[in-house]
Chains A and B, each alone.
Chain A
Amino acid sequence: MRKIVIVLAILLLFAAPWIVSAPFFIHLMIMVLMWTVLGASWNILGGFTGQVSFGHATFLGAGAYTTMILYLKLGIAPWYGIPIGGLVAALIALPIGFICFRLRGPYFALSTLAVAEIIRLVALNWESFTNGPVGLLITTLPEVTFGGKSIDWENKIPFYYIIAVIALAAIVATYIMSRTRLGAYSLAIREDIDSAEAIGINTVQTRVAALSLSAFFAGVAGGFYAMYFRYIDPDAVFSIALSVEMVFIAVVGGLTTVAGPLIGAIVLVTFGETFRQIFLVGHLIFYGLMMMIVIRYLPEGIWGKLRLWFVTRH
């Protein structure tokens, strides 16, 4: 039963552009999947190890800038740039982890906020490298042939498939993590860091590993962001608001669950983007409201609650 549902979901994921082909829906689905990756990324750290980061935009921005700069300065195509961007983000996560993980709980959260702000200011002012507040712009993407036909980058469908594959990879990675030692160690840290330390878990190494894996996916999503929107600037990809949105998607969907980020992204992004179409501004109002409702009434998140309900019923 479970396997059938998963296979059907994957089939639906890849068939979706044929079912509804209106450009707004394709754009909406691309956004949902991009935020799924970001939510999954945050969940790998925040859900499993319980470390609340308010600075994940750092990794998104690192991935976005790596992809952009590699393409604009060295001519490396974004599809190589995106995974490289993920690796750069994972590398940046190492020093940040070793510094910030000396702090616990809310202090860790505040330190990540500070690191993210410092990095945003550096990106804003290091003009020779990042082009400062003006940002970076791609006008054309390089030509690629796939199955004998050249891909039309003006169409949104190729982007949909790229992000679908990335989102699937992020969900599979979360699943694998939940089955391995890293996941088990992380959960032990989340429950009680002192006990975890006492039974011989290297808590710093585990948390840094989780942060690095988490940063990889945020960086990949950042690379995709750069390629899809073709324009980035420090306030777009390094903002506090982005970091906070990732937290919200993961928490509203359900922490520590495999499908939670997808559910969180479907609920929040669908409402957010529709709201934006109508009112232009203030689409995050719904994020704030959902966060308050979820923390108050559904601390295990929407998917976490649904899953519990299934488990107790069957």
Chain B
Amino acid sequence: METFVQSIVSGLLTGSLYAMIGVGLTVIFGVMRIINMAHGDMVMFGMYGAFLSITFLKIDPFLSILIWIPLAFFIGVFIYRFLLKNIVPAGELNTLLYTAGLSLFIANLVLLIATGDYRTIKLKYAIMPLRPFGISVPIPLAIAFGMAILITIALYWFLVRTDTGRAIRATSQEPEAAALMGVNVDRTAIITFALGTALACSAGVLLAPSLYLYPTVGEILVAKCFVIVVLGGLGSVPGAIAGGVLLGVVESLGAVYVSVPYKDAIGFVIFLLVLLFRPSGLFGVGKS
């Protein structure tokens, strides 16, 4: 019983971060129909950002998120405005290939600058895990979990309550109708892409103290992202949150009850089953 609770808890902790990455990917897909293969590399940016902050600036990684969120937002604006904007009209497959190129470019650029060494971030206050009710909770993951929830709530408020948020949701539902209603679709697209990038990057900052850092970490993360957003239905924000948490829990239960080496495969098997039998996602809200 204790192992069961333990694995549910660890699953929820990582799941909250998966959810953040997935939400970024899903809003981008919803508004622009871009399947962004470079999304994982944005997470990698965040991870290296956290690493740079603690090594060179001596700023705690969790505080450094205040620097990296706006920076990532501007990187997103730049990437969309100067690289992606002209590709989007060429169709989903061309953007898929283009972002795959972008992903390889970014990952290898970082590989050249930072080399392929595995790096870790050590925090002074994170040596011993917390032990509420006999369950072990690593401190960095607990902080990351709290911040992920705060960011997700803030994002939700933004999407539901503000005009820009409403414009994003409208464009995602029906771009032409949104344009007719006076939504500036171009501007919405830029903001959405930048927002998605900022989310991925901040998830990277939060994940950095709990994972190994290496330049091609984005490759595996982006594959997980796809699992998450397809589970929840492509284009759906609540779906991506649920999908992220679900994947986290499934992986951690799988590691305990199925086998550690196959824990990553479980996610992909579920992914294939969902794609084949419920292509609009587990909750039936996504679009194909």
Cα–Cα, bound, A282→B261 (Å): 28
* Interface of chain A, main secondary structure: helix
- In the complex, A299 has a CB within 8 A of chain B: yes
Cα–Cα, bound, A114→B98 (Å): 20
Interface string of A90-126 (1 = CB under 8 A from B): 0000000001001101110111011101100110110
Which partner residue on chain B sits nearest A132 by CB separation? Answer: B261
Which partner residue on chain B sits nearest A245 by CB separation? Answer: B104
Assuming the contacts A102-B276, A114-B272, A288-B103, asked whether A295 and B94 have C-beta atoms less than 8 A apart, the reply is yes
A247 contacts across to B, CB distance below 8 A = 97, 100
Q: Which of B107-115, B169-177, B192-200 contacts A (4 or more CB under 8 A)?
A: B107-115
Partner of A118, one of B230, B268, B288: B268
| Pair A241/B102 contact, Cβ less than 8 Å | no
A290 contacts across to B, CB distance below 8 A = 101
Quote the shortest CB–CB distance from A123 to chain B (angstroms).
11
| Pair A299/B90 contact, Cβ less than 8 Å | yes
Cα–Cα, bound, A106→B105 (Å): 21
| Pair A284/B264 contact, Cβ less than 8 Å | no
A281 contacts across to B, CB distance below 8 A = 108, 111-112, 115-116
Quote the shortest CB–CB distance from B267 to chain A (angstroms).
9
Assuming the contacts A103-B275, A281-B116, asked whether A292 and B98 have C-beta atoms less than 8 A apart, the reply is yes
B137 contacts across to A, CB distance below 8 A = none
Assuming the contacts A110-B226, A125-B262, A296-B86, asked whether A52 and B108 have C-beta atoms less than 8 A apart, the reply is no
Interface string of A244-257 (1 = CB under 8 A from B): 10011001000000
A125 contacts across to B, CB distance below 8 A = 259, 261-262
A50 contacts across to B, CB distance below 8 A = 93
Cα–Cα, bound, A54→B92 (Å): 15
| Pair B100/A291 contact, Cβ less than 8 Å | yes
**For chain A residues 210-248, which have a beta carbon within 8 Å of chain B?**
240-241, 244, 247-248
Assuming the contacts A107-B275, A114-B271, A283-B108, asked whether A292 and B101 have C-beta atoms less than 8 A apart, the reply is yes
Which bracket fits the contact residues of B?
Answer: 35 or more
| Pair B92/A291 contact, Cβ less than 8 Å | no
Quote the shortest CB–CB distance from A115 to chain B (angstroms).
7
Assuming the contacts A121-B262, A121-B264, A240-B219, asked whether A295 and B97 have C-beta atoms less than 8 A apart, the reply is yes
| Pair A282/B96 contact, Cβ less than 8 Å | no
Interface size for A (C-beta < 8 A) is 42
Assuming the contacts A110-B230, A288-B108, asked whether A295 and B87 have C-beta atoms less than 8 A apart, the reply is yes
Quote the shortest CB–CB distance from B255 to chain A (angstroms).
13
A288 contacts across to B, CB distance below 8 A = 101-108
Cα–Cα, bound, A32→B75 (Å): 36
Cα–Cα, bound, A124→B260 (Å): 12
| Pair A240/B93 contact, Cβ less than 8 Å | no
Interface string of B182-220 (1 = CB under 8 A from A): 000000000000000000000000000000000010010
- In the complex, A19 has a CB within 8 A of chain B: no
Assuming the contacts A103-B275, A107-B288, A296-B87, asked whether A113 and B112 have C-beta atoms less than 8 A apart, the reply is no
| Pair A110/B35 contact, Cβ less than 8 Å | yes
Quote the shortest CB–CB distance from A7 to chain B (angstroms).
35
- In the complex, A74 has a CB within 8 A of chain B: no
Partner of A291, one of B104, B116, B226, B272: B104
Partner of A282, one of B94, B97, B109: B109
Partner of B112, one of A102, A121, A124, A282: A282
- In the complex, B83 has a CB within 8 A of chain A: yes
- In the complex, B223 has a CB within 8 A of chain A: yes
- In the complex, B256 has a CB within 8 A of chain A: no
Which partner residue on chain B sits nearest A121 by CB separation? Answer: B265
- In the complex, B148 has a CB within 8 A of chain A: no
Which partner residue on chain A sits nearest B216 by CB separation? Answer: A241
| Pair B97/A291 contact, Cβ less than 8 Å | yes
Cα–Cα, bound, A106→B97 (Å): 10
| Pair B96/A111 contact, Cβ less than 8 Å | no
Cα–Cα, bound, A279→B111 (Å): 11
| Pair A299/B268 contact, Cβ less than 8 Å | no
- In the complex, B244 has a CB within 8 A of chain A: no
| Pair B102/A292 contact, Cβ less than 8 Å | yes
- In the complex, B248 has a CB within 8 A of chain A: no
Which partner residue on chain A sits nearest B103 by CB separation? Answer: A288
| Pair B111/A282 contact, Cβ less than 8 Å | yes
Cα–Cα, bound, A201→B279 (Å): 25
| Pair A295/B101 contact, Cβ less than 8 Å | yes
| Pair B109/A291 contact, Cβ less than 8 Å | no
| Pair A99/B276 contact, Cβ less than 8 Å | yes
Quote the shortest CB–CB distance from B258 to chain A (angstroms).
12
B102 contacts across to A, CB distance below 8 A = 288, 292
In the complex, 20 of the A-B residue pairs with CB atoms within 8 angstroms, ordered by the A residue number, are A103-B275, A103-B279, A105-B93, A106-B92, A106-B96, A109-B96, A111-B272, A114-B223, A114-B227, A115-B268, A117-B223, A117-B265, A118-B268, A124-B261, A241-B216, A241-B219, A282-B112, A288-B104, A291-B101, A296-B86
**Contacts A281-B112, A283-B108, A288-B104 supplied; 19 other A-B pairs, CB < 8 Å:** A99-B272, A99-B276, A109-B35, A110-B35, A111-B272, A114-B271, A121-B264, A121-B268, A124-B261, A125-B262, A240-B223, A248-B101, A281-B108, A281-B116, A285-B108, A288-B101, A288-B106, A292-B102, A295-B98
Return the 3 tightest CB-CB contacts between A and B, nearest first: A291-B101, A288-B105, A288-B104
